[in-house]
Amino acid sequence: MAVTLKELAEAAGVSRATVDRVLHGRGHVRPDVEARIWQLARELRYQPSPLGRGLVKSARGAKIGVICQFTETPFMKMVLSGIEQVREELRLMGAELLLDAIDSYAPARMLTSIDEMLKEGVQGLALTPGNTLDIRNKIQEVIAQGIPVITFNTDISGTERLCYVGLDNIRAGQTCAGLMASSLRGGGLVLPISGYRWHNAHDQRMSAFQETVQSAFPSLQLLPVTWCHDSDRMSQEIVLDTLRKYPNLQGVYVAGNGQSGVCRTLRKAGRAGKVVVICYDLTEQTALELERGGIDFLIDQGAWEQGYRPARLLYDYLILNAEPKRTFYYTDILIKTRYNL
């Protein structure tokens, strides 16, 4: 037998008002509470009120497109879990989420995917763009057709997208510069490794790190930036080559993926725990490296929230006429060490 809203609230241990906000998109609720309420709603077969049924009716046939790149990485797999959660919620509310998961950085594939989403009749689009002119122009073309666009995980300049959901990458890069300087108080040689040249988030993290080191921590000596294309194999080769040339290396900053390759190389060279490693994304593998001392500091950026929030914001905008309250929905900059996992 289906439960009432009151019974659902009691099962979730929250107020009826909180449940109502979650089910009808009427206010901010902590992501973990929101997820618990939706899980219970499915398990207890909650049936919406007449108002809720009216929303389902108005949402029926609505389509929201989500295009996600880099899905071969452990972090983006966690982003996909947030997308799958909101996909199920939208289905219960009468809307459809169309997902294209691209397993690499593929600007041409992104352009094709956008065209395919338009052919499918999506009314809103969320995507992880590369910061290129072609993609920028395509996004503006989509917006000119009256289709709202939200970026997530990485932003793009020069568009009229509704909002961005993800890390404040500039402040994150500054934070990492401060952590490196605090760890190497006497100064030292630091290797900066980025992911992709045209990935706006990686570029912002790296630029902010470099600028902060140069302006505030001149005792740190930065080597030229190298790009590993989010590949552990390439990051491994980069670190190995650097150690041959600079055996006195004291720090590595990784702005994208490739963390495991860095840690493996340092461990094989007998430098694990002796070279300060600062990187991003709390995954199963990076958590293991934190525990064993291969990573000193890690910036977690809320993978599930980045996957969940964009499509929900688009639903609220399209069905509830609710404008996003902010231009930037920044996830928390969470500094993880082996002591606070």
CATH number of the domain bearing residue 252: 3.40.50.2300
Give the structural domain span for 227. Answer: 169-300
Establish if 251 belongs to a structural domain: yes
Establish if 114 belongs to a structural domain: no
pLDDT score for 217: 97
Establish if 199 belongs to a structural domain: yes
Confidence check: pLDDT of 9 > 50: yes
pLDDT score for 43: 74
Tens digit of each residue's pLDDT (9 = 90 or more) over 144-172: 999 999 999 999 989 999 999 999 999 99
Establish if 203 belongs to a structural domain: yes
Task: To the nearest 10°, report the CA torsion of 32, 36, 39, 42.
Answer: -130
pTM of the model: 0.82
Confidence check: pLDDT of 1 > 60: no
Give the number of domains in the chain: 1
338 φ, ψ (degrees, to nearest 5): -65, -15
Establish if 7 belongs to a structural domain: no
Establish if 202 belongs to a structural domain: yes
Confidence check: pLDDT of 305 > 90: yes
Establish if 113 belongs to a structural domain: no
Establish if 337 belongs to a structural domain: no
Confidence check: pLDDT of 200 > 70: yes
- Compute the distance between CA of residue 99 and CA of residue 67 in angstroms, rounded to an integer: 6
Tens digit of each residue's pLDDT (9 = 90 or more) over 53-72: 445 556 677 999 999 998 88
